[in-house]
Structure 1
Amino acid sequence: MMQSIPGTYYLAASSQSCAAVLHYSTESLSILDPAGAVLWQGNDFTTGADLPGLPLEVRLVDGSYFLPDDPKARLNQFQKAGLATRLEQHKTIIVLSVLLVPVLLWWISMVGIPKMAVAIVPWVPPTAIAAVDQQTLLMLDKTMLNPSELTADTQQYWREQWLQALTSLPQQQQRVIDIQFRQAKHLGPNAFALPAGTVVFTDELVSLLKDKPDALLAVFLHEVGHVQHQHGMTLLVQSTATSLVFAMLFTDLEGITEVLLGTGSSLLQASFSRQMESQADDFATDHLKALGKSSSGFIDAMQAISSASGGKNAEELEQWMQYLSSHPSSVERIEKAKTKQ
């Protein structure tokens, strides 16, 4: 049975085209212009992807091609529509997709990827983790941090105090920790841990808590808790995996993808980061107790840092931003620590 399909014929290696009619049977295919002259004839051709709502491109061996005027036209009128077309026309599947795809994305980002990250991190080579520390600290030194203004004796004193406390912990919980000091006025009183065990204290934090050694020790133990639980590497793996998922989903929307990779990932990981902070807090308060100290050192540190960051106004802001913040609120952390006194 001969099938006739009107459309447009595009010449090979040229921008020229003309109206034409494609005649197709199981034996041959021919393309004729409006006057009936044969433009192409033969059996050596292929068809493009059968995409819903788009005309099926007929690609000829010489590089020319034919596009039907009717997007629904196919070379065999009895041919079944492609899978994508059938899915597009199935209303139940459309409704289920609208409902289930967001749920699936939420599960991948909030459950699947975090579990995968926890499973992968133990297999990351120590040399790779050490390289992350080195490169991260180098980048921060060039952008956010300045050399410490604390004297060498002061730095050495605090290193000895904290590392001595660390050696008192059970052997299986001891890690090689590299304590660094940096000046960072725009960060204020702060401390952070890198994946391989580099713990950085700002001069501002040391100055704020210099008369409260147990408070500084609590902050140190909190950061060691991050290292002990491999939080830094876990978050790095999770962030990378989340970014890759969004990149694959929005590969043709570069602008939107950049926004999602820059901000969406942080929002998706906020809950997981709060869990990390709670684990590090528990590590600090539990090990203060193991050292014969109460959790009051941790409470003093949190209260002092909160006051230095704006006091009551900062607490109110934390309550408003709790779903975006990567840390539990100071009030919540202090109340939890009080239960361990």
Structure 2
Amino acid sequence: MQSYSGTYYFAGRSNCCAALLQRQHQQLIVRSSEGEVLWQGSNFSTGLDLPGLATELHFDDGSYFVPDDVSLRLSVDGKASLATRLEQHKVAIGLSVLLVPLLLWWLATRGLPGFATAVVPYLPKSVSLTIDRQSMQILDNTLLGNSALPEAQQQQWRQQWLLAIAQLPEPLLFQPDIQFRQAKGMGANAFALPGGTIVVTDELVTLLADKPDALLAVLLHEAGHVQHQHGLKLLAQSTATTMLLALIFSDLEVLSEVLLGSGSSLMQAAFSRDMESEADLFATSALLVLGKNSSAFADAIEAISQQQDSGSMEQWTRYFSSHPSSRERIEQAKNQPAASTTPR
């Protein structure tokens, strides 16, 4: 007969006493220090099996026993649990030290981002529209100001661009909502939100005022981001990764911060090289469909790049205009084959 010392907690009472647990086959007997039988039977269950903590034995009458030996693991069938066996298996411990970090790395960099990207096309359009509305509220209260351009000029540009987009062979996922804003911290730039909102800064309109096709090319580039759902994919990827980290570190408050800060985090995230290439190809192909020269996009990049080099752009520009390899993109736009006339 095996015996284990510990503490017995009475059912429905706050008191306890030192006790001795005896096991014989499938039967357990709990005796007080005076030898009185406190509980006897085979109907019991074990509590959580946590390393370094004693495993409680819960009995059918509501009482329970806590052994003094924190390493003691008892089960109904007399066999050690899987968790206990793994804790004591040196090979399993060694493999976990190597494989768990690799698994977390794969989940953070490949698994969750890939899953999030695959889910994006199935999200209802209302999700993107809600993100646009809330993001614009945040940005208007922080980084953006009302446009100083005359309302008539804004309406003229807006009508020209919407007319050009209407001539594309395939409809866009979202009808563009073109907004003009003043953003001295961003300089000459434009950006798109997932639901079709395209924000054009006054500085960009001023910079490219004598190059209307270049200005149209920038708008088409941002429309390409919307068409390929780049912004929503980035947001889904970052949210999935943040949720993984929050669950690992048990900091669920991070989840609320993700939801509250989705607008600004979306704007601060740099599009990947592949995403930029897709948006570039969409813009140059659309220009050709509209009977314009694809080099207009190269003119836009060149003008914006020159302004960046002049130092007039401030720190926020690194986030909003993080479009890599400007020279390479200029060359690709100039060499766009005329056969590529379907925006995609």
Q: Is this a same-fold pair by TM over 0.5?
A: yes
Whether the 8 Å CA contact 1:132–1:195 is kept in 2: the answer is: yes
Measured at CA, do residues 49 and 137 of structure 1 come closer, stay the same or move farther in structure 2, by a change above 3 Å? Answer: same
Whether the 8 Å CA contact 2:164–2:290 is kept in 1: the answer is: yes
Structure 1 unaligned segments of length 5 or more: list them: none
> Residue 99 of structure 2 aligns with which residue?
100
1:116-155 pair list within 5 angstroms: 116-155=115-154
Looking at structure 1, the residues matched to 258 and 80 of structure 2 have their Cα atoms a distance apart, in angstroms, of: 35
Runs of 4+ in 1 over 6 A off after TM superposition: 255-263, 269-272
TM (norm. structure 1) is 0.79
Per the TM alignment, residue 151 of structure 1 is displaced from its structure 2 partner at its CA by: 0.6
Looking at structure 2, the residues matched to 97 and 162 of structure 1 have their Cα atoms a distance apart, in angstroms, of: 57
Whether the 8 Å CA contact 2:46–2:75 is kept in 1: the answer is: no
1:143-222 pair list within 5 angstroms: 143-172=142-171, 176-222=175-221
Whether the 8 Å CA contact 1:24–1:75 is kept in 2: the answer is: no
Where 2:272 maps in the other structure, the secondary structure is: helix
Per the TM alignment, residue 229 of structure 1 is displaced from its structure 2 partner at its CA by: 1.2
> Residue 84 of structure 2 aligns with which residue?
85
Looking at structure 1, the residues matched to 142 and 44 of structure 2 have their Cα atoms a distance apart, in angstroms, of: 59
Looking at structure 2, the residues matched to 257 and 158 of structure 1 have their Cα atoms a distance apart, in angstroms, of: 40
CA deviation map 1:16-60 (0-9, x unaligned) = 554332122346433334443445445553211334443221123
Where 1:164 maps in the other structure, the secondary structure is: helix
Calculate the aligned-residue CA RMSD, in Å: 3.9
When structure 1 is superposed on structure 2, of 141-150 and 220-229 the one drifting more is: 141-150
Where 1:236 maps in the other structure, the secondary structure is: helix
CA deviation map 1:226-275 (0-9, x unaligned) = 1111222333333333333333333x355898999999xx8xx9797332
Looking at structure 1, the residues matched to 107 and 153 of structure 2 have their Cα atoms a distance apart, in angstroms, of: 47
> Residue 328 of structure 1 aligns with which residue?
324
> Residue 29 of structure 1 aligns with which residue?
28
Q: What amino acid does structure 1 have at the position aligned with 2:116?
A: A
> Residue 333 of structure 2 aligns with which residue?
337
Higher relative contact order (CA 8 A, sep 6+): 2
> Residue 284 of structure 1 aligns with which residue?
283
CA deviation map 1:138-184 (0-9, x unaligned) = 33223332221111111012112222322332244585211111122
The share of aligned pairs that are identical, in percent, is 55
Where 1:210 maps in the other structure, the secondary structure is: coil
Looking at structure 1, the residues matched to 254 and 60 of structure 2 have their Cα atoms a distance apart, in angstroms, of: 39
TM (norm. structure 2) is 0.78
Looking at structure 2, the residues matched to 260 and 88 of structure 1 have their Cα atoms a distance apart, in angstroms, of: 35
Looking at structure 2, the residues matched to 234 and 183 of structure 1 have their Cα atoms a distance apart, in angstroms, of: 27
Whether the 8 Å CA contact 1:274–1:326 is kept in 2: the answer is: no
> Residue 297 of structure 1 aligns with which residue?
296
Whether the 8 Å CA contact 2:222–2:279 is kept in 1: the answer is: yes
CA deviation map 1:42-98 (0-9, x unaligned) = 555321133444322112345443222223323469833211222233333333333
Looking at structure 1, the residues matched to 271 and 333 of structure 2 have their Cα atoms a distance apart, in angstroms, of: 20
Looking at structure 1, the residues matched to 278 and 77 of structure 2 have their Cα atoms a distance apart, in angstroms, of: 63
Measured at CA, do residues 111 and 242 of structure 1 come closer, stay the same or move farther in structure 2, by a change above 3 Å? Answer: same
Looking at structure 2, the residues matched to 327 and 232 of structure 1 have their Cα atoms a distance apart, in angstroms, of: 14
Structure 2 unaligned segments of length 5 or more: list them: 338-344
Q: What amino acid does structure 2 have at the position aligned with 1:151?
A: P
